[in-house]
Every structure is written in C-alpha cells, then in structure tokens.
Structure 1
Amino acid sequence: MNRMRQRIAQRLKEAQNTCAMLTTFNEIDMSNIQEMRARHKDAFLKKHNLKLGFMSAFVKASAFALQEQPIVNAVIDDATKEVVYRDYIDISVAVATPRGLVVPVIRNVETMNYADIERTISELGEKARKNELAIEDMDGGTFTISNGGVFGSLFGTPIINPPQSAILGMHAIFDRPVAVGGKVEVRPMMFVALTYDHRLIDGREAVTFLRKIKAAVEDPRVLLLDL
C-alpha cells in the first residue's frame, strides 16, 4: 500500500477500535429539492457562476441539524474522558481521488449560504483532484458527509472519521413507489445513513438529528423559516 492508503487504513481501524459505532437509517423524498434545483439552477449559475448541486442542500441541512443536536457535533476527549462541545460547525466532505479518499473541511458552515457552500466545495474539490490540498484543508472537521451515490450506491454504513462522533452517508437517487396520502406514487428517493459513536450519542438524538436533515431537504422552507 502507498502511504496515503496506509494512513486511510490506520484511521479506519482507529475508528473501529475506539468508537462504539451504530448506524440509523432513513429515506428522503428528493422531489422538492429536485424541483427547486431545476427551477433556479440557471439563475444561480448566472448570478454566482456556480452550478447548484444537491450536496450544498445536505451540508446546509446538516449544519441546521447540528445546531439543534449539539451532541452530534461534540467529541470525547480521550485523555480526560470529558465531552467537548464545539460552538462552530466544520463539515468534512469526502472526495474520491485517484490517490485515495480525502476529506477537506468546509469551515463555519453555520454562517454560509448555498453559494458560499457551493463555491467552497468547488474550490476544495479542484484542489483535491490536483493533489494540492494542504494539511490545514483537511484538519479539524466536526462532522463528515460521504456521498456514495455518485458511484451508484443504494445503501451503506459509513465509518466515522476520527476524532469526530458521527458521519452522514448519502446514496443514489432512484425512482421508487411510495405511499403518499393513501395512494402509491413513484418518487425520487434517497436512502441516508447516520453512523454515530454510541458512547456519546444515544439513539434518540441520532434519530432526531437524521429526521431533521430529512425534513430540511424534503422541504427547503424549513431552513428558510428556521423550523
């Protein structure tokens, strides 16, 4: 294995050996966010010179949920065994490169709008592909999002990125029959998974957190109205 692969393997084993990992799942109806993107992507591109993707919606929704459930944004200090709460939200976004998986960090997401997030994702992704990421670009995240959906993943359980306490796994969007108002309709659906450290986070907090993300993505007005 090359040095990067060895480092990835070391961190994955560190997570397995340290955390009490548990995963909870949900599914998201992507109809509204797809409609919003289709309606506004051209104007967004014209104003910001950026493509409007789905990742920014999940980053924004995650920041919203992390503020509601700060325990998911916290970490256990292994030296003191104390819980350390962070008053900032730095979200690591997993990026696959020819050399391996890297996780650059979007900092202070709670202060960002969609354009800020898309711009930062674009800049970090370009640096990752050119192998120009510095240590500072990948250090200090408080939560991670991994999108296996870009490769067609239907379902999966992501592994925590230590020393963080949770990771969100996105998956591919597939049309599936679902019950809507007592009728069966075909909707674009995505499975999502939240793996969390059960030493710190209980099931109630984890499920509530994931449902908050679901609500914010399914109805973007939740974010606008702070619901």
Structure 2
Amino acid sequence: MKEIKVPELAESITEGTIAEWLVKKGDHVSKGDPILELETDKVNVEVNADADGVIAELLKEEGDDVEVGDVIAKVDENGEASASSEDSSGDQQAEASAAEQKEEPQQQEQKQESKQEEQPAGSSGQNNGNKDIVATPAARKRARELGIDLSSISARDPLGRIRPEDVDAAAKGGSKSEEPKSSSNDKPKKEKKEEEKTQFEKPVERIKMSRRRQTIAKRLVEVQQEAAMLTTFNEVDMTNVMKLRSDRKESFQKKHDVKLGFMSFFTKAAVGALKEFPNLNAEIQGNEIIQKKFYDIGMAVSTDEGLVVPVVRDADRLDFAGIEKGIADVATKARNKELQLEDLQGGSFTITNGGIFGSMLSTPILNSPQVGILGLHNIEKRAKVMPDDSIEARPMMYIALSYDHRIVDGKEAVQFLRRIKEMIEDPYDLLLEG
C-alpha cells in the first residue's frame, strides 16, 4: 500500500486546504495524475499521484487543512486485486441487504427491539425519531453533545430547520439532558469557542473563510498595524489620453493584437515617477531602506476567491503593447486559477483600478512589503476652470497614492502623484519620461 503525502509546495507555503478531490475511492490512477486541488494562501495547486494503482482510501475530506508531509490518501499498487476485492465485498453487502429485506416484518421488529435494548438510554432511541426532523448537521451534533431530543426543539427558522442556536436555546430553557452539566473549566476549547460565537435570533448562515481570504484579511490588518500608512489624492484630466487612445486604438489592436487600455498609460507614468522618487520603489528591512533598481509592477486583480496581485516584470523595458499583453496575461491566469507562485512574488510597486467597478474615490491599502500603491478611479465629466477662466466639462479621474510614511515623506508623495498627473495630461511627456 503506497501512501500519498502533501508534497513540498514552495519555500513560503507549508500548509493548505483541500479544495476538491479529483478522484474517489476505487478509481484507478497513474503516476503523475492529479488527484486533488489544494488551496494555499496564494494559489491553488494540484497534488499528483506518485504511484500507479487504485485509490484504496481517502484520509482527508474536502475543506480539511493539511500540512506538508501529511498522508492524505493510500494507493493499492495491485489495482486489479483491489478492484476485485471491492466488487466481492459489494456483492456480499448486496446479498445481505436482500436477505434482510426478505425477513418477515415481525422478525425485523424483534431485531429492532433488541437493538434498542442494547443501546444506552438517550442515544439512538432519539436518533431514529430524529432522522425525519429537518436540522443542520451542526445542530444534530450539538443535540447529541447535550443529549437533547430534536423533536422537543422548536425551530425559529421560517423553513422549520433546526439550527445550533435553537439547540442551545432549548438547553438553556431546561430541556432534558441525560449528561451531567460540566463546569466551564472542563469544557473543550472547541466547545468554548462555539459558545463564544454570537448567537442570532434571526436566521443566519455561517460560511468558513477560504484560506486565501483568511490570508488577505491577516495581511491587510498587519499592514495597518505595522506601517505608518497615509493617502494623498489628486485629480487628472483624461482628455488628451482619451483622445490619443480613441485615435490609435484600432490601428494599435490591428498591429499588436491587444487593446490599448488606460492601464498601460498609468504604468508608464508610474515607472517614470518611481525613477524620480526612488523611495516609493523600496521596502524596509530592519533599519535599512532597500531601493529597488527594477520596476516589477503588481496589478491588483479581483477574482471570485479574492484579490490577487500578479506582477508584470520589467515594466520599464516594455512598450505600451508589451505592458497591455502582460496585464492581459496575468489577469487571464488569475481568473482561470492558473497563476503560479512566481507570478505573485517580487513586485516593487502596485497599481489598483477600482474605477472598473465604478469607484469614485477610495484609500488603497499597501501591498506589504511595498511602500506605495497607486489607486485609479472612475472617469466622469466634471466642470473644470481652464487657464482662460472659461469652464468646460472634462473627463476627470481621481487618483490616490497610499504610502508608508516611515520612509516616504508627505512632500515626496504629493510630488510623485503630481508627476503622474502631469505625464497623463501630456502624453508626449509620458512617452519621453515613461
């Protein structure tokens, strides 16, 4: 019997959550075949079988947390023998079931009575009657722990489904329990945590956070606790960029087979501004400032499973077409769950575009250990006073720069954002400086 273990994933990943089993017990697998999808805090990875044979046992379920080295399944390398033994055992079970069905009703009733006599009081006698009651698995488990008959509980759910809070309420209301009450000190930690959860009088649904969502939440809180984060704002007149894009988008797409978007303009502008203000392309390590002499720009991408920030490498060496292709490539990978760990590591600065969802103004949070992130927003026509004091309706965008005040002063941050504004409003300057 061959054991399948969680393999070494990457230097920074030691655990994950089983997202989906791709095989089931009895399936034949060949060495190298994917058998499950493992969700880590960065990407989903497939775990492959390392032997030929038949899946004899799945030791973990979907949703279980596992660590590198954990045994998750067993493979019988004698596939035919395993399959035949399963068939024979299945035949025996089928024969036993058929024989049981042929027994007279009176004999079945006698067997049932003898089973009830053998079982402890307050256990299975309740369960037989409780099978027809609509209750969540958690509620059934809670009722078993407290020794409460589900039939004596009134559900507050409009659909009549009994939930854990209904069981707890029945226990507090004096429902019969055959288990002695233990002191709070004797209760398991897990049970204490369940009791500490907020109880609601109206129906709610508890959803376990995915590992990626847990990691996102943890890191965002860490950033706010560790960094001296501030945000400065400006607004950009998009008239010239929109005109240039409108004039060239068809020829650009025909030549490069990719659309000309706004992100390439802002990426070029960000690179140009980072060269002038290198502390925004840096990170803190201990008492040292590490100024990066490369420009790997992270692009925040929203997926169904949460925000990820894949990186477009060497953006300073790419032309507009190269940047647009790089953005399209990482965005497609992110949405198709095809990102690799190397796609997410090593960024020096991040751009996030909330404008695609209609955001007018927001405060982006730093992508640690980076010390700067540029936030883009929706484009809307607003009244603008022109140099000759006339007023025109112009397509305007608010932009935001969040920065770590530990190494970036307010003056630098404001000048950085103003430099981006100048380059976007004058695309020729953008071509020269970006």
Tell me the TM-score normalized by structure 2. 0.51
What letter is aligned with 1:197? Answer: D
> Do structure 1's residue 218 and structure 2's residue 425 form an aligned pair?
yes
CA distance in 2, matches of 1:160, 1:91: 13
Q: Which among 222, 241, 246 is matched to residue 14 of structure 1? A: 222
Alignment of 1:157-176 (within 5 A): 157-176=363-382
Report the equivalent of 1:65.
273
Secondary structure in 2 aligned to 1:157?
Answer: coil
> Do structure 1's residue 35 and structure 2's residue 243 form an aligned pair?
yes
What letter is aligned with 1:203? Answer: G
> Do structure 1's residue 198 and structure 2's residue 405 form an aligned pair?
yes
CA distance in 1, matches of 2:309, 2:277: 23
CA distance in 2, matches of 1:162, 1:59: 19
Alignment of 1:96-135 (within 5 A): 96-135=302-341
> Do structure 1's residue 25 and structure 2's residue 233 form an aligned pair?
yes
8 Å CA contact 2:258–2:325 kept in 1: the answer is: yes
CA distance in 2, matches of 1:35, 1:119: 21
What letter is aligned with 1:153? Answer: S
CA distance in 2, matches of 1:67, 1:34: 25
CA distance in 1, matches of 2:393, 2:430: 26
Report the equivalent of 2:263.
55
Any idea what the Cα deviations from partners look like across 1:191-224, whole Å, max 9, x if unmatched?
A: 0000000000001110111011111111111123
> Do structure 1's residue 148 and structure 2's residue 354 form an aligned pair?
yes
CA RMSD of aligned residues (A): 0.9
Misfit runs of 4+, over 6 Å: none
Unaligned 5+ segments in structure 1 are none
Secondary structure in 1 aligned to 2:433?
Answer: coil
> Do structure 1's residue 207 and structure 2's residue 414 form an aligned pair?
yes
Q: Which has the higher contact order (CA 8 A, sep 6+)?
A: 1
What letter is aligned with 2:392? Answer: E
CA distance in 1, matches of 2:352, 2:383: 26
Q: Which structure: larger Rg?
A: 2
CA distance in 1, matches of 2:355, 2:374: 12
8 Å CA contact 2:269–2:433 kept in 1: the answer is: no
Secondary structure in 2 aligned to 1:153?
Answer: coil
CA distance in 2, matches of 1:81, 1:164: 15
CA distance in 1, matches of 2:397, 2:430: 19
Report the equivalent of 2:29.
none
CA distance in 2, matches of 1:32, 1:21: 32
CA distance in 2, matches of 1:225, 1:165: 26
CA distance in 2, matches of 1:225, 1:217: 12
Secondary structure in 1 aligned to 2:339?
Answer: coil
Alignment of 1:183-194 (within 5 A): 183-194=390-401
Matched length: 225
Superposed displacement of residue 48, structure 1: 0.2
Superposed displacement of residue 90, structure 1: 0.8
What letter is aligned with 1:54? Answer: F
Unaligned 5+ segments in structure 2 are 1-208
